[in-house]
Amino acid sequence: AQTVTQSQPEMSVQEAETVTLSCTYDTSESDYYLFWYKQPPSRQMILVIRQEAYKQQNATENRFSVNFQKAAKSFSLKISDSQLGDAAMYFCAYREYGNKLVFGAGTILRVKS
């Protein structure tokens, strides 16, 4: 079974600084998709960024970017210029083509002003 591991239960970052959240996953597949979801205190699940495994180029969405290392099965999220509104739980998730999402345990991100 596929597993997703987020080794950082909690991270802190100063406002305007950069932070990187780690994620590793285990799979024997070559074609799959990876996602980062943000869950603010409202507990809604918000898609932050996604990456297709067949693409070598790292995905970027404004201040959010990923470092996708397929051979190492690593998928980290970098948040630049951190803002107070970035404070949330962040989940890394994996999906094979057409199948369900498998989530990691999450990382709580605290942003200090």
Partner 1 sequence: EPEVTQTPSHQVTQMGQEVILRCVPISNHLYFYWYRQILGQKVEFLVSFYNNEISEKSEIFDDQFSVERPDGSNFTLKIRSTKLEDSAMYFCASRATGAKMNYGYTFGSGTRLTVV
Residue 104 found at the interface with partner 1 (CB under 8 A): yes
Q: How far is the CB of 9 from partner 1 (least distance, A)?
A: 11
| Three-state DSSP string of the chain | CCEEECCCCEEEEECCCCEEECCEEECCCCCEEEEEEEECCCCCCEEEEEEECCCCCCCEECCEEEEEECCCCEEEEEECCCCHHHCEEEEEEEEECCCCEEECCCEEEEEEC
Q: Which is nearer to partner 1, 98 or 113 (CB)?
A: 98
Residue 94 found at the interface with partner 1 (CB under 8 A): no
Residue 98 found at the interface with partner 1 (CB under 8 A): yes
Q: Which is nearer to partner 1, 64 or 103 (CB)?
A: 103
User: Cα-flanking dihedrals φ and ψ of residue 40, to 5°?
Assistant: -75, 180
What residues between 30 and 89 interact with partner 1 by CB under 8 A? Answer: 33, 35, 37, 42-47, 50, 52
- Give the residues lining the site for partner 1 (CB under 8 A): 33, 35, 37, 42-47, 50, 52, 91, 93, 95, 97-106
